[in-house]
Amino acid sequence: MTDKTKTNSGHSANASDTLPDLEELLDDLYSLQDNLLTNATSQASDPALPASLTDDAIHNLEIPILSNVVDTEIDEERKLLEQFNQAQQHLFDQHSAPQTANDTQINAIVNKLVTKMRPRIDQLLRDKIRSLVVERFNRQK
């Protein structure tokens, strides 16, 4: 059970898909608990049970450790989903706000690009000049 939830909690895109799965798992566990308690009471028709313990009370019993684990997993998934939604909203808010760049930032970016592209530009220019020179020599011959 925890292996499935751990693998899903690592993927924030699946956070919304995992939450219903955990709730379905919780429902399945409660129905299994009801079935086990029903089978246990039918098999052990022990007159030593207290009179205050009715069938309804037996069906409403919860397995505390299991309930706590599942509730904790559901809470963690909801928190992850909340964090994902907040981060996504932050990105959308940040993207929609126009960012003004000053001349120094623009010049810095242009300088970096020119520095990276300089060898390739030089090579292309050399090749073009060479082809023009070869063409001119061929015309003169």
Higher local confidence (pLDDT), 135 or 93: 135
- The residue-averaged pLDDT of 122-130 equals 91
Task: Give dist(CA 2, CA 34) in Å, integer.
Answer: 22
**pLDDT by residue (tens digit) across 39-92?**
666 665 555 555 666 666 666 666 666 677 778 888 888 998 898 888 888 887
8 A C-beta contact, residue 18 and residue 9: yes
Rounded Cα distance between 99 and 106, Å, is 12
Half-sphere exposure of 23 (CA within 13 A, CB side): 9
Beta-carbon count within 10 A of 52 CB: 6
Q: Rounded to an integer, what distance in angstroms lies between the CA atom of residue 111 and that of residue 117? A: 10
Secondary structure, 3-state, the chain: CHHHHHHHHCCHHHHHHHHHHHHHHHHHHHHHHHHHHHHHHHHCCCCCCCCCCCHHHHHCCCCHHHHHHHHHHHHHHHHHHHHHHHHHHHHHHHHHCCCCCCHHHHHHHHHHHHHHHHHHHHHHHHHHHHHHHHHHHHHHC
Question: Residue 129 — very low, low, confident or very high, per pLDDT cuts 50/70/90?
Answer: very high
Higher pLDDT among residues 123 and 67, named by residue: 123
